[in-house]
A and B are shown apart, each in its own frame.
Chain A
Amino acid sequence: MTDAFTTWLLLAGPLWAVFGLWALPRFAGSRKVKDETGLARLQVAGVVGGFALGPVGLGIFYLQPRWITRASLTVGLLLAVFISSQVLVRIEDPNLPSALWLILAGPLWSVIAAYFIPRRYREAEADDQNALTAAALGGFAIGPLIFGLLWQHTPKISRDWIIVLGSLGAWQIYTLFALHNADNLCVAAPYHITYLAQQTANGVVIGCIYSLMAVGLTLIYSVQGIVSFAHGQLYMVGGYFSFYFLLHGSNLLSELTGTEISINPLWGIPVAGIIVFLMGALFERAFLKPMHEGLIERVSEYAILITFGFGFVIEYTTLAIAGPFPQRTDRFIEIRRFTFPRTQITDQFTFGPINIIGDRAFAMVIGILLIFALLYFLQRSWTGRALRATSQDRQAAAVTGINPTNMNTLSFGLGSMLAAMSGAALIPIFAWVPWVGAEMVGRSYVIVVLGGLGSVPGALVGGIIVGIVEALGAGCHPDPSRGAAYKEAFALVIFALVLLLKPTGLFGREQT
């Protein structure tokens, strides 16, 4: 055990956090409000102050209880993270803190807390909505201390609790990772911040693009209650419609004008969207409407099979028409940053140390704009509200004069359109083949469940989370040779964890 570690354990750290958890509410409580919220805040202050600065921190909060604010606790938490990380990285043997962490916190305490604390909330007839999540994250991050915070007074658990405990747990993982992989690009100073920022930016950019496709899927689910297994193929065919529109449109214009004209791929996006909207709407009318009219006996199986079949037909028809050879359209935008000789060709936006490929940035902006346009449509227009109303209660919606049948058609058409526009936005970026949708659609299912089935903002957030997790996972994996191969697995781990802790997904609502 090193001197730094011993000193830290004596002057601050987990022992003082335990003491603070017990002492601060007891001694400062009489001088501070005694309601439930105040008590919980004192407990948090005891843990944070003790962990960060030991007796000094506790003394400050004891003498000046009015300084116990959200801001001071955040600062204290950051200070605790900083000091302890500085101490831990100086430890020569990384196994020691890992072993301590596994004993004092980590997955074992996470499971224990997740088992007992929600029961305690139910017994106390307290609001247990976030109890499971907070207990699991708390056990993981601060071990048995979470019982001290939550057991006796069962305080109302806000989203702040989850964010703080989750961040603390993530920081611990990062610190332990750093201890065991000191040379990893994600932890090795001085460039790790830049590198992490670059990888996070990569993740955000691709995540927004993922989201656009997932939004269509979630829209269909929210209104119709079915998962479209043709979504990947609609995404793919959207790219092809854009490609052929641009190809033939450019040729036609060139012939008419006598000069070489190349239509910007941006124009392919609405064209693909409109065509595929009509395809989706027609398919819905022909094959899904009977299902909603009660003409189909086994609705769930029918929905799976019919959408799967639709996707199959689209894929193989496209293969027959377009062939198996990869295609790609021109760029959205030509950005030439000459930094010869280090880089000969770069088509990138540069924000300080972060580089983003121009077309990806453009596609990301398109994705965000389309998602916000959809949100605006759903929130502000009568038709959008009708769609939302149908998704919440079809019968009640029908009573108010909304035609659920039309809403079904509209939702499937819109969902298909969004998939196609997503494809049209990505064909300038990826090599396009008739089976290109397979990988993307698998990820879309993860995103919509992660974000909460039926939630548009959930799909956006879920997409970004998946993008970031994949980028950081591939970029930080200790074994560089395996990072890229496990990319999708990282997102699936997060997906599984979120579903364990919050089965409705991040923004999902309980089924009624």
Chain B
Amino acid sequence: MKHSKALFVSIALVALLALAPMGLVSADGHCEFDDYTIKLGGLAPMSAPGAVAGGVAMDWAFKQAAADINADCGVQIDGVNYMLEVITGDSEGSPERGQAVAERLILEDEVDGMVGVYHSAVGLATMGIMEENGIPTIFSEPWNDNVSANGIREFDGAPPRFDDGIDHIFRISPASSMVGSVVTDWLIALGVEDVVLIVENTDYGQPAAADEQARLEAAGVAVSQIDVELGTEDFVPILSRIQASAEPPDAIRIVVTGETSFNLTQQMAELGIAPTPDTICVTNQIAFQHVQYWATVPDGNYCAFNRVGIIPSLFNDTAIELNAAYEMEFGDIVPSFGMASYDAVFMMVDAMERAGSYSDAAAIVEAIEASDILLSQGRYYFTYGAHNESMPADDSMPDFMWHQWPDPIVTVMQYFEQGQSSLDAAVVYPEVYQTHGTAYVVPGTSP
């Protein structure tokens, strides 16, 4: 009897030990999920002619955010856990395609919110669809000022475009003017007298260049502009034009995205136009992806570039973890639009949880406006919206600050060693973020 009791206890203990891991799994997956899955639509350019590399990074960020949220019991609304799914729609970087995909996501997939968008043209083209269908939206990359400025104009203007009088569009990427002002302020501080702007012919490039040109000219800097088409490979004829000018320009600023900017920067360096001691090279933010940059712009040492997003030395824990995951996947540093896309998903989920609904658009918009959340790029909040309509009417506060995250960090960085990691590149401007005590590393020197 004793034996059988001991045997029973032993069996029970063994069973308990055997089940313990299952219990742990259960503890980890303690969340009981509701049958309903909350869906977010993610717009990103997954195929040409869009910036596919950007789209892939954004898609990865959406999926990573959803995985992280689901691992932590999903979206928790009124004590119920909902699985989260982000359905990526391929905008191809085209406004028409973007509109078609946005409609499909809203009407067929019945998404509860939208995130993402890389190209400004797609953002501008799809905003109306999201507004008409009452879909809360957080854009993570389009820069055109009007993406957020349209909100205040439509919201305040008469007649209102939206039946419910709600502006559903938010943006956590910077507006072009916010980026342009940093680069132009830097160039002006360096004392440049003439600048050549090489600009892509898009809804991002043209307004951004116009803004930078206005700022530079206001400071007495002579500006000439050269427009190029995205996807162009050979820039030598137009660069020869710069080369043939009597005096080399003080700076060449490239307002061109994607691999087109890589080709342009490399050909400019190969021809010996910039970077040189006479001419500053300011290339696109994608130069921050140092693996891609050095693979395709081997002569691009000493080029500066605008960096949007938190600088590596200020990465918080979320950013460090996200960057590690991205590096494991792609072997490169996480781009700002990857971080912003990741954060956009978290912001939307946070707003739904606070609103207590995944379907009440008005409540979700209200919750997004009241956001105060620390994510990979820093603390997100919105100064102006329906919660605070008191935007100064004068020029002191530009329209794009409506539903716009006011604090994206924009810096100017510069490589100063061939093959250098962007983590080690010098932050040269603004002064408060400078890492090497200099506003510019002259080619051929070290900071």
Residues of A within 8 A of B (CB): 185, 191, 194-195, 198-199, 202-203, 206, 319, 323-328, 339-348, 355, 357, 360, 430-431, 433-436, 438-440, 470-475, 480-485, 487-488
What are 30 A-to-B residue pairs whose CB atoms are below 8 Å? A185-B245, A199-B237, A202-B237, A324-B56, A328-B295, A342-B248, A342-B278, A343-B273, A344-B272, A344-B444, A346-B270, A346-B271, A346-B272, A347-B270, A347-B299, A355-B271, A357-B236, A357-B267, A360-B236, A430-B233, A431-B266, A433-B52, A434-B48, A435-B47, A473-B237, A480-B224, A483-B237, A484-B226, A484-B229, A484-B238
The answer on a CB contact under 8 Å between B269 and A345 is yes
- Given contact pairs A325-B332, A344-B444, A484-B226, a sample of 11 additional A-B residue pairs in the complex whose CB atoms are under 8 Å apart: A195-B240, A206-B236, A324-B52, A326-B296, A328-B298, A341-B277, A345-B272, A347-B270, A433-B52, A475-B238, A481-B224
B5 interface residue per 8 A CB criterion: no
Contact of B276 among A341, A439, A482 (CB under 8 A): A341
Whole-angstrom CA separation of A82 from B233 in the bound complex: 37
* Residue of chain A at shortest CB distance from B201: A485
The answer on a CB contact under 8 Å between B444 and A348 is no
B95 interface residue per 8 A CB criterion: no
Given the complex, which residues of A lie within 8 Å of B229, measured CB to CB?
484-485, 487-488
The answer on a CB contact under 8 Å between B266 and A341 is no
The answer on a CB contact under 8 Å between A319 and B52 is yes
Kindly supply a per-residue 1/0 record for chain B positions 191-230, scoring 1 wherever the CB is within 8 Å of any chain A CB and 0 otherwise. Answer: 0000000000100000000000000000000001111110
Given the complex, which residues of B lie within 8 Å of A324, measured CB to CB?
52-53, 55-56
B8 interface residue per 8 A CB criterion: no
The answer on a CB contact under 8 Å between A435 and B443 is no
Whole-angstrom CA separation of A164 from B53 in the bound complex: 51
Known contacts A344-B275, A348-B270; A436/B228 CB under 8 A: no
Given the complex, which residues of B lie within 8 Å of A485, measured CB to CB?
201, 227-229
Kindly supply a per-residue 1/0 record for chain B positions 236-277, scoring 1 wherever the CB is within 8 Å of any chain A CB and 0 otherwise. Answer: 111011001100100000000001001100110111110111
Whole-angstrom CA separation of A198 from B332 in the bound complex: 39
The answer on a CB contact under 8 Å between B278 and A202 is no
Distance (whole angstroms) from the CB of B278 to the closest CB of chain A: 7
The answer on a CB contact under 8 Å between B225 and A481 is yes
Given the complex, which residues of A lie within 8 Å of B443, measured CB to CB?
344
Given the complex, which residues of B lie within 8 Å of A433, measured CB to CB?
48, 52-53, 259
B49 interface residue per 8 A CB criterion: yes
Instruction: Bin chain B's interface residue count.
Output: 35 or more
Interface centre among B226, B240, B444, by most A CB within 10 Å?
B240
B232 interface residue per 8 A CB criterion: yes
Contact of B240 among A198, A341, A470, A473 (CB under 8 A): A198
Distance (whole angstroms) from the CB of A329 to the closest CB of chain B: 9
Kindly supply a per-residue 1/0 record for chain B positions 162-184, scoring 1 wherever the CB is within 8 Å of any chain A CB and 0 otherwise. Answer: 00000000000000000000000
Distance (whole angstroms) from the CB of B119 to the closest CB of chain A: 15
Given the complex, which residues of B lie within 8 Å of A327, measured CB to CB?
295-296
Contact of A185 among B231, B241, B295, B444 (CB under 8 A): B241
Interface centre among A195, A328, A357, by most B CB within 10 Å?
A328
B292 interface residue per 8 A CB criterion: yes
Kindly supply a per-residue 1/0 record for chain B positions 292-314, scoring 1 wherever the CB is within 8 Å of any chain A CB and 0 otherwise. Answer: 10011011001000000000000
The answer on a CB contact under 8 Å between A342 and B276 is yes
B234 interface residue per 8 A CB criterion: yes
B33 interface residue per 8 A CB criterion: no
Contact of A344 among B228, B277, B291 (CB under 8 A): B277
B235 interface residue per 8 A CB criterion: yes
The answer on a CB contact under 8 Å between B259 and A439 is no
Distance (whole angstroms) from the CB of A92 to the closest CB of chain B: 25
Whole-angstrom CA separation of A434 from B259 in the bound complex: 11
Kindly supply a per-residue 1/0 record for chain B positions 343-361, scoring 1 wherever the CB is within 8 Å of any chain A CB and 0 otherwise. Answer: 0000000000000000000
Distance (whole angstroms) from the CB of B133 to the closest CB of chain A: 30
Whole-angstrom CA separation of A468 from B235 in the bound complex: 13
Whole-angstrom CA separation of A380 from B298 in the bound complex: 43
* Residue of chain A at shortest CB distance from B300: A345
Query: Top 8 closest A-B pairs, CB basis?
Result: A343-B272, A435-B48, A324-B52, A474-B237, A431-B296, A484-B238, A346-B272, A471-B237
Distance (whole angstroms) from the CB of A288 to the closest CB of chain B: 26
Kindly supply a per-residue 1/0 record for chain B positions 131-171, scoring 1 wherever the CB is within 8 Å of any chain A CB and 0 otherwise. Answer: 00000000000000000000000000000000000000000
Whole-angstrom CA separation of A494 from B277 in the bound complex: 41
Known contacts A344-B277, A439-B233; A480/B244 CB under 8 A: no
Given the complex, which residues of A lie within 8 Å of B225, measured CB to CB?
480-481
Whole-angstrom CA separation of A485 from B248 in the bound complex: 22
Given the complex, which residues of B lie within 8 Å of A439, measured CB to CB?
231-233
Given the complex, which residues of A lie within 8 Å of B270, measured CB to CB?
345-348, 357
Given the complex, which residues of B lie within 8 Å of A430, measured CB to CB?
233-234, 263
* Residue of chain A at shortest CB distance from B200: A485
Whole-angstrom CA separation of A325 from B277 in the bound complex: 31
* Residue of chain A at shortest CB distance from B228: A484
The answer on a CB contact under 8 Å between B277 and A483 is no
Whole-angstrom CA separation of A284 from B155 in the bound complex: 60
Distance (whole angstroms) from the CB of A221 to the closest CB of chain B: 24
Given the complex, which residues of A lie within 8 Å of B231, measured CB to CB?
438-439
Interface centre among B234, B276, B277, B296, by most A CB within 10 Å?
B234
Whole-angstrom CA separation of A512 from B56 in the bound complex: 51
Distance (whole angstroms) from the CB of A199 to the closest CB of chain B: 6
Given the complex, which residues of A lie within 8 Å of B277, measured CB to CB?
341, 344
Distance (whole angstroms) from the CB of B280 to the closest CB of chain A: 12
Known contacts A319-B52, A324-B55; A348/B262 CB under 8 A: no
Given the complex, which residues of B lie within 8 Å of A340, measured CB to CB?
444
The answer on a CB contact under 8 Å between B226 and A198 is no
Given the complex, which residues of A lie within 8 Å of B292, measured CB to CB?
325-326
Given the complex, which residues of B lie within 8 Å of A202, measured CB to CB?
236-237, 240
Given the complex, which residues of B lie within 8 Å of A475, measured CB to CB?
237-238, 240-241
Whole-angstrom CA separation of A152 from B275 in the bound complex: 64
Known contacts A325-B292, A327-B296, A328-B295; A483/B52 CB under 8 A: no
